[in-house]
Amino acid sequence: MAKFKGSIGWLVAGTAAAAAIGGALWWQQTPAGAPALPKDELAISKVVLYQNGVGYFERRGKIKGDRIELRIRPDQINDVLKSLSILDLAGGSPSSVALPVERSGDQLASELPPQVRNAKGMVGLLAVLRGAQVTVEGQDGTLSGRVVGVEQLDAGKGSDGTAQRDSERLTLMTASDELISTPVAKIRKVSIGDRALSVGLGQSLDISRREGAWKPVSLEVRLAGDQTHDLIISYIHEVPIWRPAYRAWVEKGKGVQLQGWAIVDNVSGESWKDVELTLVVGSPLSFRYDLHKPHTVVRPDLTGRVQAVAEAPPEADLGVEQAAPAEDAKRKERESAEERPAAPAMADAASSKLFGEAPESEEGDVVAKSAPASGGLMRKAEAAPKGYGGGGPAPAAAPPPPAKRRGQAAPRDQAAAAAEDSARREAAIRSAQALVTGQEIGPLYTYKATAPITVPDRSAALINLVNRKIDGQDVVLIRDPYSSAPAFRAVLLRNGKESALESGPITLYVDSVFAGEGFIARVGKDETSFVPYAKESGLTVRIDSKDETAQLQLVKVVDGRITIQGKTLRTRTIDLTSNSDQAHTVYVKLSRTSGWDVQDPPKNIINGASDLYVPVEVPAKGKGSAKLVEAKPVSYEETALSANVVTAFELYLKGPKLDAAIAGPLKELLEVRAAQAKIDEARRALQRQRDVLDEEQRRIQGNLDSLPLGAVADALRKKLVGQLSEASTKAALVAKKLVESEVQEAALREQMVTLLRGISLK
């Protein structure tokens, strides 16, 4: 194998350095002479995983010496640089942190001699060393000279007539101006006589080794004093988010046994052994920022201002002092510098904090959150029944029991199934105890492991977060009652006050039978969620809506202007028909009318952010119904006695706040209004009668006009003329009565205006 002599001794040290990959922290003392290689590890002691894609890491331990080396993967270095924190509990402090400058491979390669940028292998290297002084040892002994080139010679034809090619041969020019050739394949050693090329080749290989993310970046932390240091080193870097997954057993009349697990991935490059693990719900703000690579400022190039041609001295102008050309150039440069924008300063790296302070979130009756799968999160309408959602874990509902075997008596089968179910419950309680404790810190919620956790590198772990009994039931959910969209079987979960449930998949067992899978949107404390898990058929729904005015109240009467307040009621009636053999509790999702309040809400109604979930009890093969009444306050002013005004007056006369001074005029006004209403009704009847008579006259006149002339039609003509005269007489009488009623009605209206202006209520 050919050997090279030059600046390539980095391979030994580089191999040792590459052994410390993945952010492993080492420490070393500083003896006299060359520093020793890292010999011991400062292990990770604490890991906090957030849901914004970062993790907080702490390393804890005591060392003696004045320096410590932290090796970080290149993809983690920027996060570490902007969050690194070093605490010495023994009273010391860090004095400096040193790290190699990040420069891109392209930038470094551009600074190398062009002969070595693309040199690959023996043949490629010798080809680019053309003109360089080398010494080679090979088949022809030791040869020295300048490289002329590498060529492949034609060796003629073989015995079978095919062309044969010799291997590559190196041609050298010796000091005596002789050309010698030797086969490249037989060269055992090459010594490069050009120091610049040797160093450039080594740097080129260094650049090639840096390609890829496997090579760690070394941070050397120097500590004040050669003494024992009790260190806590913390930083953050990007990690996969942890994800929750749930299992739930639903039993009729017994609520829901809920178990939650967290899936944690360790891809940091280092195993977590017996670490203090905390999982945080919430997403503190975090971002990426390149601190490792040097940032430069683009400066303007003023080369063009250099004069290419010397100018002759200008002639003197009388009375004007002219600046010398050199001074003028300096002045222009100063003006350009003043106009040039200042270079932006690099932002200071913020110190890392495990938990930031933030205001408590406000809680309301309506939670403005939704999820495509669950139909949204809702504030629970009523308190959960006692016995649910409190304290420690309750007996867990078991997975599906085995089916009844044939050939056994029914009582024996039931006893065996009950025993099996009891055993499964006890096993579920033993195997799924929550391994974490929860704590609310500002806007964040943390799950802290109660015992040290070990997660090997490049592996995942499941950690039990939740194991408790909560209130819930199996229901039917109709999400869009105005369309043909299907209904869903769903589990209604009413979370308690212990902790929120983060979003994640859930596997559901209903009455000990696997029922389906769903997805939980985030459910806060005292919130409720529907988790659909299967489609439901056999239900038909009809919704009728009606608006009406109610609860009218007379506010004031001033100068004939009447102010009334009341409510507009909107009633939606839900009718459900089922052809199922089972009774169901059905929740129908209705949009909440903006600005309206629910009146006398049905029992167990659930309020959403912009929707209402109305429960309807539907018997097997039967019908069920429910009503949703919403009210909106109204206030309006009128000058006429409309039906609503009359109703408000009548209610006022019957109410406890009646003013005796206006009681008489108000009653008289209502009596006049009643008389006017009767006349108005009679007038409308007369108008209808007049319209009938007018139509009759037009019909008779049309018949007369169509009769032919002559004696034959005289008898019929005489008859029609008589009918027309009779209809005309009746029409004239009706017209007279109609005019009389209009006069009477106008007089009553004038009287009502006078009476109304005489009433004052403020």
Tokens 């697990």: give the residue.
261
Tokens 């009582």: give the residue.
411
Alpha carbon distance 460, 77 (integer Å): 23
Tell whether the model's pLDDT for residue 641 goes beyond 50. yes
Tell whether the model's pLDDT for residue 468 goes beyond 90. no
Give yes or no for a contact between 249 and 425, defined as CB atoms under 8 angstroms apart.
no
Tell whether the model's pLDDT for residue 698 goes beyond 60. yes
User: Does residue 100 sit within a domain?
Assistant: yes
What pLDDT digit, counting tens, does each position of 483-542 carry? Answer: 888 899 999 999 888 778 888 999 999 888 898 999 988 888 888 899 999 999 889 999
Same domain, residue pair 625 and 669: no
Same domain, residue pair 467 and 374: yes
What average pLDDT does the structure give for the chain?
75
Tell whether the model's pLDDT for residue 319 goes beyond 60. no
Burial class (CB in 10 A: 0-12, 13-18, 19+), 118: exposed
Domains of the chain: total? 5
Tell whether the model's pLDDT for residue 347 goes beyond 50. no
Mean pLDDT value across residues 630-634? 93
* Three-state SS annotation for 193-240: CCHHHHHHHHHHHHHHHHCCCCCCEEEEEEEEEEEEEEEEEEEEEECC
pLDDT band at 106 (very low <50, low <70, confident <90, very high): very low
User: Does residue 359 sit within a domain?
Assistant: no
Tell whether the model's pLDDT for residue 747 goes beyond 70. yes
Q: Of 639, 672, 697, which residue is a domain's last? A: 639
Burial profile 213-239: b = 16 or more Cβ within 10 angstroms, e = fewer? eebbbbbebebeeeeebebebbbbbbb
pLDDT band at 132 (very low <50, low <70, confident <90, very high): confident
User: Does residue 325 sit within a domain?
Assistant: no
Same domain, residue pair 482 and 574: no
Determine the length of the chain.
762
The pair of three-digit structure tokens given for residue 467, joined into one six-digit string:
């194991």
* Three-state secondary-structure class, residue 453: strand
Backbone angles phi, psi at 264, to 5 degrees: -115, 130
What pLDDT digit, counting tens, does each position of 535-587 carry? Answer: 998 899 999 999 998 888 888 899 889 999 999 999 999 999 999 998 999 99
Alpha carbon distance 748, 754 (integer Å): 10
Give yes or no for a contact between 566 and 553, defined as CB atoms under 8 angstroms apart.
yes
* Three-state secondary-structure class, residue 309: coil
Tokens 């490629």: give the residue.
124
Number of neighbouring beta carbons within 10 Å of residue 4 = 15
Tell whether the model's pLDDT for residue 22 goes beyond 80. no
Same domain, residue pair 512 and 563: no
Same domain, residue pair 426 and 498: yes
Same domain, residue pair 700 and 725: yes
The pair of three-digit structure tokens given for residue 667, joined into one six-digit string:
């009653």
Q: Indicate the residue type of 569.
A: L
Mean pLDDT value across residues 368-372? 33
Question: What pLDDT score does 89 carry?
Answer: 85
Q: Of 485, 503, 537, which residue is a domain's last? A: 537
Same domain, residue pair 2 and 90: yes
User: Does residue 61 sit within a domain?
Assistant: yes
* Structural domain range at position 585: 538-639
Stronger pLDDT, 217 or 627, i.e. the higher one: 627
Alpha carbon distance 250, 470 (integer Å): 10
Stronger pLDDT, 608 or 442, i.e. the higher one: 608
Question: Which 8-state DSSP code applies to residue 186?
Answer: G
Same domain, residue pair 606 and 685: no
Alpha carbon distance 596, 601 (integer Å): 13
Same domain, residue pair 73 and 219: yes
Q: What is the CATH classification number for the domain harbouring 735?
A: 1.10.287
Q: Indicate the residue type of 511.
A: D
User: Does residue 330 sit within a domain?
Assistant: no
Tell whether the model's pLDDT for residue 338 goes beyond 50. no
User: Does residue 357 sit within a domain?
Assistant: no
| % the chain with pLDDT above 90 | 24
Give yes or no for a contact between 256 and 472, defined as CB atoms under 8 angstroms apart.
yes
User: Does residue 496 sit within a domain?
Assistant: yes
User: Does residue 679 sit within a domain?
Assistant: yes
Q: Of 608, 639, 670, which residue is a domain's last? A: 639
Q: What is the CATH classification number for the domain harbouring 141?
A: 2.30.30.520
Angle ∠(300,301,306) on CA atoms, nearest 5: 135
Same domain, residue pair 257 and 373: yes
Same domain, residue pair 371 and 463: yes
What pLDDT digit, counting tens, does each position of 436-455 carry? Answer: 566 666 566 678 888 888 89
Same domain, residue pair 256 and 396: yes
Rounded to 10 deg, the angle between the 643-654 and 660-706 helix axes is 150
* Three-state secondary-structure class, residue 298: coil
Q: Indicate the residue type of 650.
A: E
Mean pLDDT value across residues 297-312? 67
